[in-house]
Structure 1
Amino acid sequence: MKSNHFVSIDGKKIGPQFKPYIVAELSANHNGNIDNALKAIEEAAKCGADAVKIQSYTPDSMTIDCDSEDFQIHGGLWDGFKLYDLYKWAHTPYEWHQKLFQKAKEVGITLFSTPFDESAVELLESFDVPAYKLASFEITDLPLIKRIAQTGKPLIISTGMASMEEIEEAITTARGNGCKELIALHCISAYPTPAEQANLATIADISQRFDVISGLSDHSLGTVVSVTSIALGACLIEKHFTLDRNDKGPDAEFSLEPNEFKRLAKETNEAYHAIGVAGYERKPVEEANMAFRRSIYFVADIKQGEVITTKHIRKIRPGYGLAPKYFQKILGQTVNQNITRGTATSWKLITNDSK
């Protein structure tokens, strides 16, 4: 059932009764080059994205520069990195933000961000950001959620790694501090996420269990998981975006290039419209094919007053005659005029008209 509830970001409505809202996550795929970031915003708009999302942090707001074992990454995509060095490579400098917001306005696409601490919220408020995204890893940072909620802006929460209790606590904190427009994204925090572990059935459960609009933050390869999620109720899709995977940005491996992202926007929209509503009325597009149903035809000449036998009629295509279910009822009746082979049966041609 399609709800009348929706969230509005920058004038666009997001909810079950609207086409999917598509977010291009730039993340760290600018590779430290502002020109790449500006170009990515342009390309995302051309690809049909509704919004571009950036991340607002500095290496010092994320962690400390420390060589101890706790701060080393072992395994996965960023194996061998020290946390501080990874965030130094991946961060979007604060001094870029004004140009990025200006570029988004120029090309007509919404830009919002993920703040990773309260100071980033203050920065984003200075640009009157239209919405906030909370990263999965910050879902337990209730003071941060409280500060974001106090802005009164729409909040999108990713739920990767979170237990049901942690999700509930985050949503309760947001709502209790003024957030009236909330979207919760099902998310698997694995980079990339194997499709067989995507667990998309959770999308509908999140919506029902927490009374929120739900969507998907998708880290899988390709577009299949995102497109499939639409049939399961996802109203917003967030997917990482890169100009070229060969640039080897921090998130490039599980990001979509422009031609792939364009396909994502197109196919998720088609999937949404394909769902429609339950119903058994004949669709307008089917009308022309009614002619190719079977119906009862005279397949031999027959004279007025003759009794109809199996040599005179058959159930064949096209469908302009009486329906096949009347075959036995027609047999044994007489015709009231001369009929030539290839004439569609009708009750007006039969003397004993007893439908």
Structure 2
Amino acid sequence: MFSCLPSVIAEIGINHNGSADLAKKMIAAAKESGAAACKFQLIDAEDLYSPTSIAAPYVDNGLGINGTLKDLFNKVAVSDETFTELKRYADNAGIQVFASVFSEKKLPLLKKLEINAVKIASSEINNIPFLQAVEKSGLTSVISTGAGELKEISKAVSILGKKNKLKAILYCVSLYPPEPADINLGNINILRKKFSPIFTGFSDHFEGTALSIAACALGACIIERHFTIDKNLPGPDQKLSLNPSELSGLIADLKAVFIAGRPVDSWFLSGREKKAAATFRRGAYYMKNLSAGDIIKPEHIIMQRPENATGYQTAAFIGKTIRRNVKSGDPIVKSDF
């Protein structure tokens, strides 16, 4: 997952709605779509939310919940046993799986399962005790920057990066979905310059794939997208998620952008393009039948496709005596004179 090639994380998050069977279908679909990894959210609602936690406009959305965010996350929670089962399933499917955690209580589980990385959600960027616990755990980490000031991001990086275990910083806008005016992809370059050699990516909540592709062009090598197998499933994140065909299309586009956008020090032409040029460039041809001894005049020459060895060197032939008989349409060659 952590390479200079564009890698995509399929953020299953809570789209499984608490169903292990649905989660497995999403893991399989993420693998089939070409994702490098899939990610879940391990939330202990009792630990995360106070009894007075507020309701959010998106809480219900077909789940039959008429309450608070705490109620939502209690309903869709993944138990340690279920996550262990999902990790085993993902291993067998051949795709990496990791998780966002919101409490140090979940860190031992990730270590036990040898999870590749712990994702630190944007909401925890200023949770210093938690960041210190992650650093102390020795787990590899990835952090999102939603709603974070640069000084807060720098503080988090200084804590998590002590043992070079912080592998990626994902620019993120914590709105669901954001408007284009809420986003500035220029922040990716700021993160790259300030925190290199840590990889930079984009956790994208914008609808469609345009900004993910643009982020790749700006140097983001990890793209995180919410993922579902059916946008009509109940749940707050389904509509802004990518389905399998959209995810596979995004991955193909990202690879194309990465290959086409690689840096060069001098002007680049591919061998295929050079070869193709001969079919649409013009060469010099005789316009009429001529006999040996004739003097070449401008009206004897026409420039036509395909290109030949004489190219555009017509001026060099004017006034010269031809040494052989030629027919209209024959290519002009230097040995004719």
Q: Same fold (TM over 0.5)?
A: yes
Change (3 A) 1:81 1:294: farther
Identity of aligned residues (%): 30
Are 2:54 and 1:72 aligned? Answer: yes
AA of the residue aligned to 1:310: P
Are 2:39 and 1:58 aligned? Answer: no
Helix, strand or coil for the counterpart of 1:319?
Answer: coil
User: Is the 1:62–1:87 contact (alpha carbons within 8 Å) kept by the matching residues of 2?
Assistant: no
Helix, strand or coil for the counterpart of 2:253?
Answer: helix
Aligned pairs (5 A) from 1:68-107: 71-73=53-55, 76-78=57-59, 81-107=67-93
AA of the residue aligned to 1:205: I
Question: Does 49-58 or 79-88 show the bigger shift?
Answer: 79-88
Structure 1 residue 341: Cα displacement: 1.4
- Scaled by the length of structure 1, the TM-score of the pair is 0.86
- Scaled by the length of structure 2, the TM-score of the pair is 0.90
Structure 1 residue 135: Cα displacement: 0.5
Are 2:205 and 1:224 aligned? Answer: no
Are 2:201 and 1:215 aligned? Answer: yes
Instruction: Tell me the number of residue pairs that the alignment of Structure 1 and Structure 2 aligns.
Output: 329
User: Is the 1:139–1:166 contact (alpha carbons within 8 Å) kept by the matching residues of 2?
Assistant: yes
Structure 1: 5+ residue stretches without partners: 1-11, 351-355
Change (3 A) 1:300 1:197: farther
Question: Does 331-340 or 23-32 show the bigger shift?
Answer: 331-340
Provide the residue aligned with 1:312 in structure 2.
Answer: 300
Q: Equivalents in 1 of 2:309, 2:247: separation in Å?
A: 50
Helix, strand or coil for the counterpart of 2:298?
Answer: coil
2:310 to 319, 322, 326: 322
Are 2:289 and 1:301 aligned? Answer: yes
User: Is the 2:288–2:300 contact (alpha carbons within 8 Å) kept by the matching residues of 1?
Assistant: yes
User: Is the 1:57–1:93 contact (alpha carbons within 8 Å) kept by the matching residues of 2?
Assistant: no
Q: Equivalents in 2 of 1:276, 1:345: separation in Å?
A: 40
Structure 2: 5+ residue stretches without partners: 61-65
Q: Equivalents in 1 of 2:290, 2:309: separation in Å?
A: 16
Are 2:317 and 1:334 aligned? Answer: no
AA of the residue aligned to 1:344: P
Are 2:164 and 1:183 aligned? Answer: no
Provide the residue aligned with 2:63 in structure 1.
Answer: none
Are 2:107 and 1:125 aligned? Answer: no
Aligned pairs (5 A) from 1:248-259: 248-259=234-245
User: Is the 1:153–1:179 contact (alpha carbons within 8 Å) kept by the matching residues of 2?
Assistant: no
Provide the residue aligned with 2:127 in structure 1.
Answer: 141
Are 2:31 and 1:45 aligned? Answer: yes
Question: Does 127-136 or 269-278 show the bigger shift?
Answer: 269-278
The CA deviation string for residues 180-229 of structure 1, in whole angstroms up to 9 with x for no partner, is 34211111111012345432232232111211211111111122222232
